[in-house]
Structures are given as structure tokens and as C-alpha cells.
Amino acid sequence: MTRFTVNNQPVQYKLDARTPLLWALRDASNLTGTKYGCGTGDCGACTVDIDGAAVRSCQVTIGAIEGSFVTTIEGLAENRAHPVQRAFLAANVGQCGYCIPGMVMAASALLRKNRNPSDEEIAAAITNLCRCGVYPRLIEAIGRAARLARGEDDAGPEEQGDQAPAIGE
């Protein structure tokens, strides 16, 4: 039995310790915001936060993270209130939206380590793939999220009105 914490809740999985975290989250915990994209760790759709680092959940087994703290898109913030979620909504980053939860998780880990990243640092840190090509808006939104987190910008998704897409749901 493997034990760790997911979204501030202790969990124990009666799954083979070699089970990828992605499948434990999606199939056993019904946390479907973490997406399956490539299964090889290249696309980043499955990115979650493990002990403060952005990790591709398809590449880590549940046995390897015994005792760790995992945060998925569902556990990042209530009501999409995290600065990254607010900035993504305000910038209308999502198109099809499939890659967005992984990008939000990668961006939140980046901003926890670097409160004022340059565009180049954002581009280097966010290696998630997006078939819709949202990269210019993505970089702009992460810069705005950094300003929101530092209290230098108070605008949020309310600018989008009721038409804003739901990020991570």
C-alpha cells in the first residue's frame, strides 16, 4: 500500500507501486484535471506539483513518492482564485483547454521559485506543449500572474465576465 498526500488529503492506494501517478490520480481518485497527453513526459499535460516542483505525473510511480505532498489542478485554489488561474482567465489563454491544467501547475511552481521571471525565464521553464499555439498569451499571462501574486496588479478574470472558460475543470 502506498501513502502520500493529495490536495491536502492523506491517501493510500492499493495499487501496484509501479503504477504511474497519473493513473492513480485519474482512475483511483477521480482527479481528471490532470490530463493524459503523450505518456512519455514530453507534452506536460499531466504536470502536477510534488513537494513544490512541477513533475510530469506519467513519469513518476506512486511507490517513488511515498510520503510526498501532491497538488493537482483541483487542489491549487478554490474558485480558480490562484494568481495563475486568474491571469490565464483574464488573458483568455485557453483555446481547446486540454493542456491548460498542466501549464497552470508548471507556472505556479515557477512563480513559487521566481516571483519576477523574465519572458525568457518563463519560456525556458514552461516546456509544456500546446497544439493550439497559445505561447504568446501564455508568457503574457504568467507575467501578469507574477504581478498579481506580488500585489502589483489587481485585475482578474472578472474582466472576462461570465464568458470566461473554466481552467482546470
Residue-wise pLDDT tens digits, 36-50 = 999 999 999 999 999
- 158 vs 1, more confident: 1
Average pLDDT, the chain: 91
Angle at 159 between CA 158 and CA 165, to 5 degrees: 70
Whether 162 has a pLDDT exceeding 70, the answer reads: no
* Residues comprising the chain, all counted: 169
Give pairs for 29-37: CB < 8 Å, separation 24+. Answer: 31/6, 31/7, 31/72, 31/74, 33/72, 33/73, 33/74, 33/101, 33/168, 33/169, 34/72, 34/73, 34/101, 34/102, 35/98, 35/99, 35/101, 35/102, 37/98, 37/99, 37/102, 37/129
Predicted confidence at residue 78, as pLDDT, reads 87
Question: What's the whole-number mean pLDDT along residues 155-162?
Answer: 46
Whether 161 has a pLDDT exceeding 70, the answer reads: no
pTM for this structure? 0.89
